[in-house]
A and B are shown apart, each in its own frame.
Chain A
Amino acid sequence: MKLRFLLPLGAFVVMVIFLGIGLKLDPHEVPSPLIDKSAPSFTLAQLHEPQKTFSPTDMKGKVWLLNVWASWCASCRQEHVFFTEFARANPSVNLIGLNYKDEREAGMQWLARLGNPYLLSVSDTEGMAGLDWGVYGVPETFVIDKKGIVRHKQTGPVDLTILQTVIMPLIEKLNAEAQ
């Protein structure tokens, strides 16, 4: 008899728990299937020196960051301050920019005005390299290890806390790993 009343209550509690978890989830945080896989390759012209190209394989043996940015993207501007600060404080960090679906002139002006924290940036005018990397909302930041494996992805703008508590410790950890 008691079970008859407990059953609906139990079902209700389970539903509340599920809905509660659902409320906390951010649907824009899509887990990247690239994590622990080889970084997708591309060969793109560099933003400042278009006669030169860059490819992820150029960074083999180094831990590096790929930051996807664009001059038309408002939250890129928001995170840019943190990256310039971060690059100044940690000159050993290899930060590469992927100028996503942007015009070369606009991108260069943006860097000239706001500062350039990148070792170099590449132009992905068509957005096809971005597509290969599963980019769907700029800015995005990837951490790639010495073997060329993607180890972390940050979707959306980084801030000081993320850089200090997530990105930097990970870089240090990956730097300590054997090649």
Chain B
Amino acid sequence: MKKLVLCLFFLSQSVHAEIEVYQFKTPDLELRYQTLTEELRCLVCQNQNIADSHAELAQDLRRKVYEKLNSGETNDQIIDYMTERYGDFVLYRPPFNVKTLILWLTPALTILLGGVGFWSLLKRRETNSDEQLSASEREKLDTLLHTKTSNKK
């Protein structure tokens, strides 16, 4: 019973937390609305996108996205509108440019460097194992092998 009450409590909370609902003319528009609001950052609570945020600014931005979608603007036009006002920071997926060069290239560079390091390590091991035995070592090995086989017999 306690569990049920607790469950209901959390359920009611989530219902309470519901954000405004928009009606869309087509399912396609609704999908685009979802994608766009998930990719735009709320500038007040910066670790949330505007789809998740309850900040007033996020509400306004959602409304703007909704209005623009209904007036027939493309996704790019809406993204441009936002970046013209709030900068690239508003995008969760920052564009590739001089400023974001390090951001985009570091992962690839790290993998590349790691790969090169790993490859050279392997290579070094290989040459180590390829080392030729000296004459005396060979002799030693032969006697060892020989005694072993003779013992078996």
Give Cα A126 to B61, complex, Å. Answer: 12
Q: Are A30 and B44 in contact (CB under 8 A)?
A: no
Q: Are A30 and B56 in contact (CB under 8 A)?
A: no
Of the stretches B7-15, B20-28, B82-90, the one at the interface is B82-90
Given contacts A128-B60, A131-B61, contact A137 B43 (CB under 8 A): yes
Given contacts A27-B46, A101-B56, A137-B44, contact A33 B83 (CB under 8 A): yes
Contact partners of A82 in chain B: CB under 8 A:
none
Given contacts A27-B46, A30-B43, A137-B44, contact A131 B87 (CB under 8 A): no
Q: Are A31 and B87 in contact (CB under 8 A)?
A: yes
Q: Of residues 19 to 74 in B, which have CB atoms within 8 Å of A's CB atoms?
A: 43-44, 46, 56-57, 60-61, 64
Q: Which residue of B lies closest to A133 (CB)?
A: B85
Contact partners of B46 in chain A: CB under 8 A:
27-28
Give Cα A104 to B84, complex, Å. Answer: 29
Return A80 CB to nearest CB of chain B, in Å: 21
What class of interface size applies to chain B in its complex with A? 10 to 19
Q: Interface centre among B44, B83, B85, B87, by most A CB within 10 Å?
A: B85
Return A114 CB to nearest CB of chain B, in Å: 23
Q: Which residue of A lies closest to B43 (CB)?
A: A136
Set A27, A28, A33, A101: member contacting B84, Cβ < 8 A: A33
Given contacts A30-B43, A128-B60, contact A134 B89 (CB under 8 A): no
Contact partners of A33 in chain B: CB under 8 A:
83-87
Contact partners of B85 in chain A: CB under 8 A:
33-34, 40, 131-134
Residues of A within 8 A of B (CB): 27-28, 30-34, 40, 101, 126-128, 131-134, 136-137
Residues of B within 8 A of A (CB): 43-44, 46, 56-57, 60-61, 64, 83-87, 89
17 extra A-B contacts, CB within 8 A, seeds A27-B46, A30-B87, A134-B86: A28-B46, A30-B86, A30-B89, A31-B89, A33-B83, A33-B84, A34-B85, A127-B56, A127-B60, A128-B60, A128-B64, A131-B60, A131-B61, A132-B85, A133-B85, A134-B87, A136-B86
Between A and B, 10 residue pairs with Cβ closer than 8 Å are: A30-B43, A30-B87, A31-B87, A32-B87, A33-B84, A126-B60, A131-B64, A133-B85, A134-B85, A134-B86
